[in-house]
Structure 1
């Protein structure tokens, strides 16, 4: 289960890096995506280094839940702020798809990223539940 958690968090790093490098929503969103990729990479490293410690798993749980919430809140922001960029590609009959023109950051990509974050949070919660004695130390 731990390797699945690491894989989910690593997939989040790759997805955020891909969206940051795509730059389809401008420099501001690219910086936000790069910051999210950096935050996720710290979790991956910590999960790999301290495999038997509950602290990195709790951190991954918190970060995954927070990022899923942030991404859910970003969907309507992308719809309103990106009306001139992202949505212009949907009805214009251009040669490229919206995902290709925005570095892959369309709504379906965002929902996929939300799903990855929720799976990571679920795996982290399940892993903490398997180690109740170590989790109980944190609560004291």
Structure 2
């Protein structure tokens, strides 16, 4: 394995591991109910399977291809989940009136992950980067001219 391919592979493993950790964080931190927490836990397990496959067989193409497909599929799924999770949280972007007439997000929902989707956006970015690294890694393995 060349140095460039090794760096691509290492970056891919780190992105997928980061995605697994972020999914686990969203599953435990929740704020969106038990159903969504179970979905996030299942996604974390899928990420762990990809990490294990990538680390067990660093020279194989199949785990890289699996990681690429899963990363792009999960990124798309997360983009579709954002409005669904906002609805499940009772309108996470609704504002509550406070004393003095000011508007502000519910601090309990915000601290539980229901007030903003920064963790979800982080996961989407990690998954898109992982998909790009996997595609580049697969391309670097091809013989010249194909």
TM-score (norm 2): 0.80
Q: Could you list the runs of 5+ residues in structure 1 that have no partner in the other structure?
A: none
Return the structure number with greater helix share: 1
- State the partner residue of 2:14: 7
1:24 aligns with 2:31: yes
- State the partner residue of 1:87: 93
1:1-140 paired onto structure 2 within 5 Å: 1-84=8-91, 86-87=92-93, 90-91=95-96, 93=104, 96=107, 98-102=109-113, 106-133=116-143
Runs of 4+ in 1 over 3 A off after TM superposition: 90-99
Deviation sequence 1:73-129 (CA, Å, 0-9, x none): 001112222235x335x5354783644223x78322211211110000000000000
Deviation sequence 1:45-71 (CA, Å, 0-9, x none): 000000000000000000000000000
Q: CA contact under 8 A between 1:16 and 1:36: conserved in structure 2? A: yes
Q: Could you list the runs of 5+ residues in structure 2 that have no partner in the other structure?
A: 1-7, 98-103
- Structure 2 CA distance for aligned equivalents of residues 16 and 43 of structure 1: 14
TM-score (norm 1): 0.83
Distance 1:113 1:99, change over 3 A: farther
- Structure 2 CA distance for aligned equivalents of residues 14 and 122 of structure 1: 19
Q: Size of the alignment, in residue pairs?
A: 131
